[in-house]
Amino acid sequence: MPKLTTHAIRKLKGQRPIVAVTAYDALTARYANEAGVDIILVGDSMGNVMLGFENTVPVTLDMMCHHAAAVVRARPEALVAVDLPFGEAHYCFDRVLASCQRIVQETGADAVKIEGGAEIAPMLEKLNNAGIPVWGHIGLRPQQVLALGRYKKFGATPDEAGSMLSDALALEKAGVFALLIEMTDHECARKIAGEVSVPVIGIGAGPHCDGQILVSPDLLGLTSDYVPAFVQKFADAAAEYRKGFAAYAAAVRERRFPE
């Protein structure tokens, strides 16, 4: 399969659902790519599911570059996008451009995902003009959790739905190649997907989006603590991990390994 580009992802809208997952290392990226996913996101969700943090806020640009480079070394045909971490999108444009430039140049990633609505659209347009492909992210923005005080669903009221649609249209005009909408009312998500020409990838946003994304440890059954209610577990990898480690420990203690 040829390498998927932002242009190829855009063309999938209306053709078939787009499959996206997160990955944070070469091993996971290789297996996801073998399954034929379209997009691999190196998400700052690594803070929650891989690094032991309570949220995404402590994840730094250095961490994102480190993990993204590992994913790219798996040489996936899937498009690889990388989250711009907490706070980075709210500096001056020169600083934001330098951070995005670092992600693309140091890791070899294909695109950058940035949380924010109409308020950052002018900056995203300038990034696009500078050659940085941007995946927009609206609805629940996990990097705002300290200000929000909790994770919540968006778009359930007419005012919120209208604001989200305005955000989506502003980001589309700014040149994003796709939108991610998180924890969003299903009817609001349906309207946004129908109004914009770019693909809308949902997470906790219902079945009416142009594609779906899940955090890979969640869908594989590896997450040991809180898992969002919208997640479906497609495997029980944790059971296999436990069985394998227990079998190894028993074999060593009983002197059956090495033979």
pLDDT, tens only, 65-99? 999 999 999 999 999 999 999 999 999 999 999 99
Query: What tokens were used for 202?
Result: 């949902």
CA distance between the termini of the chain: 43
pLDDT at residue 1 tops 80: no
pLDDT band at 151 (very low <50, low <70, confident <90, very high): confident
High-pLDDT (> 90) share of the chain, %: 94
Q: Which of 135, 65, 128, 127 is nearest to 93 (CA)?
A: 127
List beta partners, residue 115.
Answer: 137
Tokens of 77: 């045909």
Under CATH, to which class is 6-253 assigned?
Answer: alpha beta
Torsion angles phi and psi, residue 123, rounded to 5: -70, -40
Cβ atoms of 142 and 87 within 8 Å: the answer is: no
> The pTM is what?
0.97
Please report, as a single letter, which amino acid is at residue 196: V
How far apart are alpha carbons 195 and 165 in whole angstroms?
8
Pairing of strands 18-22, 211-214: parallel
Active site residue 125: no
Which one of 88, 115, 172, 182 is the catalytic residue? 182
Sequence spans of domains, the chain: 6-253
Question: Interhelix angle for 93-107 vs 121-129, to 10°?
Answer: 50
